[in-house]
Amino acid sequence: MSDPNKEFDGIRQADNPLPEWWKWVFLGCIIFSGIYAVYFHGFSNWGTSEYYAAQIQEYEKEFPNRNVAVESTDGSNPFRGNQDAISIGQKTFQTYCVACHGPTGEGLVGPNLMDKEWLHGNTDLELYATVMKGISVERTKSGRGPMPAHENSLGSEKVYQVLAWLASRNPELKSSK
């Protein structure tokens, strides 16, 4: 009687040798994987940390100083009177605020920012909070609807620049109480 493992349930195991070409491909894969592993870990720069670093570099080139945190010790705007900050702030205002506050800040959907009336306070500290956090529906006072937060889209540096521009145009915006 032959080996019972060679036939089971009518299925016969032929035990033929693997074709030559298949063995060479198999051996080739083993040799290739060894060379590849040594190259990948030892010589290439295809690792995820290099890839990540390259992406960060690209991002920072595209958005320089995007979310640089500017610290203020007493709540007053560190960019007050800084000419460079004021002109950058004006440009930022033209991009992010005009749709609601008008090209000169005199109001459209949002209220006039150039007059003496302040619904949410008139100090750097209060305006910083207003622009960074926005005004939620429950906190609106003018009946004109809410204002979006800008802490993620602009960040502290750009917000202080916009406020420096506002302060240069409206003396009613005080550095502190």
- Asked whether the beta carbons of 117 and 108 are under 8 A apart, the reply is no
Stretch that binds ligand HEC, among 15-23, 50-58, 80-88, 115-123 (CB under 6 A): 115-123
Q: Is 47 in the site for ligand HEC (CB under 6 A)?
A: no
Residue 119 engages ligand HEC in binding (rule: CB under 6 A):
yes
Phi, psi of 135 (to 5 degrees): -125, 115
77, 85, 96, 156: residue in contact with ligand HEC (rule CB under 6 A): 96
118 binds ligand HEC (CB under 6 A): yes
State which of positions 7-46 bind ligand HEC (CB under 6 A).
Answer: none
Considering the rule CB under 6 A, would residue 88 count as an interface residue with ligand HEC?
A: no
Quote the tokens at residue 10: 């009518």
Please pick, from the candidates 144, 149, 151, 169, the single residue that binds ligand HEC as defined by CB under 6 A.
Answer: 144
Alpha carbons 92 and 74: distance in angstroms, whole number: 24
User: Measured from the CB atom, is 62 or 138 closer to ligand HEC?
Assistant: 138
Among 58, 83, 109, 176, binds ligand HEC (CB under 6 A): 109
Residue 155 to residue 94: CA distance in whole angstroms: 16
Q: In this complex, which beta carbon is closest to ligand HEC, that of residue 50 or of residue 106?
A: 106
**Under rule CB under 6 A, residue 148 binds ligand HEC:** yes
- Contacting residues for 130 by C-beta, under 8 A, at least 6 apart: 120, 121, 147
> In whole angstroms, how close is the CB of 62 to ligand HEC at the nearest point?
20
Burial of 107 (0-12, 13-18, 19+ CB in 10 A): middle
Q: Could you tell me which of 79, 76, 96, 77 has the C-alpha nearest to residue 87?
A: 79
- Nearer to ligand HEC by Cβ, of 42 and 171: the residue is 171
Count helices and strands in the chain by DSSP H and E runs: 6, 2
First CA to last CA across the chain, in angstroms?
105
CB of 146 to ligand HEC, least distance (A): 6
Kindly list the residues in this chain that would bind ligand HEC in the complex (CB under 6 A). Answer: 96-97, 99-101, 109-111, 113, 118-120, 127, 130-131, 135, 140-142, 144-145, 147-148, 150, 162
